[in-house]
Amino acid sequence: MKKLTILLLAAAIVILPFSSLYGEELTLFERYKENDISLSDLTEKYEKLVEEREEKLDSFENYRISRKSTFDSALGYASKENGILQVDWDIQNALYNLKSREAWLETSFRNTYLSLYKKVRSADQAYQSAGESLELYNETVSNNKKGYASDIEMLEAKYSYKKADNVYMASLRSLDSSFRSFQSLLGGALDFNDMSFDFTEPAGTPATLNEYISKALENSSSLSLVIQSITRYENELKYLDKYVISYNLSYYREKRESIETNLAILKLTLEKNKQDLIKDIEDRYNALILEKEKIGLLALSLEIAETDYEVNKDLYKRKLIDYSELIGSENSVKAATVDYQLAVYGFNTMLMELEYASSCFMSEDK
Amino acid sequence: MKKRIIIITLVLILTGTAVLGFDIIKLTPDEAYEAASQVDIQHEIDELNIVLKEAGLTSSQKNASYTAVNSYQGNITKYVSPFDAETNLMVSEMNLAKSEKQLMVTIFSSMLSLYDSRISYDDSIESYEAAKVAYNEGISNSSLSATELLSLEYTAENNRIKMLQAENTLTKRQKELDRLLGVENAAVELPVEYTSPYSLNKEEVYNSMIETDIALFQSKRSFESAKLRHEIAAKFYDEDEEMFISTLSSLMSSELNYNKKLQSIEDTVIDRIDQLKTMYDSIELEKLNVEIKESLYNASMKQYAAGIISVNSLESAKKAYDLALMQLDSKIYDYIISCMQFTIDTGYTF
């Protein structure tokens, strides 16, 4: 019964026409977003930090600095200045995490949505394939009875059918599992009537590579967190130099050496992270440009299917081909249309992933 | 100073080649290693981390010298903390030494990827050119239907995109190598000498790996540290007390972990030698392929001279022979790099 339900639902999804459902997709996405615990936690954390900002700043302003020794004073002043800076850094980092999560959810939703559709498609294909194998098997059994097919041929046909049936069952189970995951991501029962897969959208236009790189360098947390640590150590060094009695004293010297080594490590890490970030953006950008070329190829493929269909319509009218051939070419147009739409959808998702990797989500809020 | 000399040398090479019009800067393995060492940021970071670990050890030893041994914690500070700090330092040093050896493998692997992507790119250009010719011929052929012509266009377009993909991969691989070496348009000579893995002695490899494996060393030191902790706990706590039980449990678990690692090394050695054998055998297979393609090419030359086949067929036979040679080279390089990795991982030199 369960299998039948899935089959009917899967069939309903496939049969439902592509229509203007952008709004419904957004509704699903909104449910997806609302149900994300991390996002609500991050929002709460960010709001709390903003709310507590003044109070925290005040507490650092009134921070008592130990005067037991000049060494303690140096550490105390550095700690106070870093503490004040940390209040805004924490807010900035929390905002970054929040925006980053929102942007990630968008691409994640698109990928999950597409993956679910592919499962439906795959189950449908497996169903057709199993049906064809069963037909062939029945035909072979019949031929075997008439003496036209050997026992081995019959066994082979049976094996093929069983294999195709297993593939079909596996694809149903896989669809069932993905559907349940999707439901849980949306936070409750999902009504298939609200869900007809629609991938019609125009291809987005990417900015230039340099724009992405500059945004990434400006906003990426892999850099800003290191920069914050560098500032912290630089402040420690500044106050240590200001209050130093003599670097011949081992505790001053050791502290300074430790700060300098950590600073050197952080500066190298910053350089390395910059290189890695640029490489990542370049790779993603180049892959995106290639993807755009593939869209052109699929547009051509669609044009071929459409031309072929037009020719076949004419041939059918003149009774030069049969109806099944005409329907076959019509189905090819439908398949080519879906492939084209999926390619555009995939391209747009890749574009969003590039924007995500470049921390574009921070541009307006920083 | 040394760094500057290398940079200046590289700049001179770059300028010279730019004037002479050569695109590729060919480096010997030693030159490539030297160049990569100078721009390897991670290596510098690892070296600095060792400085921090050394400071940690000094500080821990200093603390130990001031600490009295009349309590459990005092004994831990005096004996266990310096031991653990020493382990951290030793492991970092071993990892750094390993990463230095690993750099050569990384360079060769990067060069091999570049080599392979060059083969794919050259191949994709040929496919595209052939499809373009077929399409252009199709345009001037009036007997073709619109669908057939579009199909030819599709094939040409598809091959163009495959060529772009191959070009993209090639550029990416070149950039990866350039970034690794800090040199633009670099190429590294790949080694060609190799030996058979069939003469490898499993026991010798096993003994070598036991002596050099970092993870095993680390787990051995953890076991010794846990033993120390438990011996100290036994002096201060009774058998039914929490600290005694806790340190005993840690000791047993670290001993188990060490023994497991020791056992897994034997399996690893067998697997790694088998992998090398498989790769070595595939070289022999590729050699056979080269022989076949060479014979076919020689036969084609004779047939062409006798006017039996066209120049296109002769070219195809030549290309197939060249491709087989390149594939053989690729397999050999791949095997040599795996042997180098084997030496790094097992400490055994062929």
Contact residues for B5 (Cβ-Cβ < 8 A; gap 6+)? none
Chain B residues with at least one Cβ partner in A under 8 Å: 41-42, 44-45, 48-49, 51-52, 55, 59, 145-147, 150-151, 153-154, 157-158, 160-161, 164-165, 168, 171-172, 175, 179
State chain B's mean pLDDT as an integer: 90
**Binary contact (A286, B172; C-beta < 8 A):** yes
Range in A93-102, A201-210, B22-31 the model is least confident about: B22-31
Q: What is the mean pLDDT of chain A?
A: 88
pLDDT at A365 over 80: no
pLDDT at site A363: 66
Predicted local distance difference test score (pLDDT) of residue B218? 96
Q: Is the pLDDT of residue A176 over 60?
A: yes
Averaged pLDDT for residues B310-335: 92
Neighbours of A172 (CB within 10 A): 20
Higher pLDDT, A259 or A12: A259
> What confidence tens digit (pLDDT) does each residue in B104-156 have?
999 999 999 999 999 899 989 989 999 999 999 999 888 888 888 888 999 99
Greater confidence (A9 vs B38) lies with: B38
What is the average per-residue pLDDT within A20-43? 76
Which of B14-28, B56-70, B159-173, B198-212 is the least confident region?
Answer: B14-28
> How is residue A348 written in tokens?
């747009």
Q: Residue A285's closest CA among A214, A226, A341?
A: A214
pLDDT score at A13:
39
Q: Is the pLDDT of residue A6 over 90?
A: no
Output the six-digit token pair for B98. 């390993």
- B151's tokens: 């199909």
CA separation for the pair B186, B180 (Å, rounded): 10
Closest-CA residue to B265 (of B313, B216, B220, B307) = B216
Which residues, including other chains, have CB under 8 Å from residue B210's CB and lie 6 or more apart?
Answer: B216, B262, B265
| pLDDT score for B231 | 96
Task: Write the CA distances from B315 to B116, B298, B318, integer angstroms.
Answer: 22, 12, 5
- The pLDDT tens digits of the residues spanning A204-237 come to 999 999 999 999 999 999 999 999 999 999 999 9
Q: What CA–CA distance (Å, rounded) separates A77 from B109? A: 50
Interface test with A, best of B51, B58, B167 (most A CBs within 10 A): B51
φ/ψ of B195, rounded to 5, equals -125, 165
pLDDT tens digits, B226-241: 999 999 999 999 999 9
Residue A3 has pLDDT above 60, yes or no: no
Beta-carbon count within 10 A of A169 CB: 14
Q: Tokens 């850099």, residue?
A: A223
Q: How far apart are the first and last CA of chain B?
A: 35
Residue A194: per-residue pLDDT: 64
For the stretch B145-163, pLDDT in tens is 888 888 899 999 999 999 9
Chain segment A114-129, per-residue pLDDT in tens: 999 999 999 999 999 9
pLDDT at B248 over 60: yes
Q: What is the mean pLDDT of residues A29-38?
A: 90
Binary contact (A268, B168; C-beta < 8 A): no
Q: How does residue A192 score in pLDDT terms, banded at 50, 70 and 90?
A: low
Q: How many CB atoms are located within 10 Å of the residue B265 CB?
A: 19
Q: Distance between CA B194 and CA B177 in Å, rounded?
A: 24
Q: Is the ipTM of this complex over 0.85?
A: no
> For the residues A73-94, what does the mean pLDDT come to?
93
User: Higher model confidence: residue B22 or residue A106?
Assistant: A106
B55 vs A254, A271, A304: nearest CB: A254
Cβ pair B55:A290 closer than 8 A: no
**Ramachandran quadrant class, A207 (left: phi over 0; alpha: psi -120 to 50; beta: rest):** beta
Structural domain boundaries in chain B: 198-350
The domain made up of B198-350 is a member of CATH 1.20.1600.10: yes
B215 HSE (CA, 13 A, CB side): 11
Nearest to B161 among A283, A297, A308 (CB): A297
3-state secondary structure of B27: strand
Per-residue pLDDT tens over the stretch B188-234: 999 989 999 999 999 999 999 999 999 999 999 999 999 999 999 99
Which residues in chain B touch residue A347, judged by CB atoms under 8 angstroms apart?
none
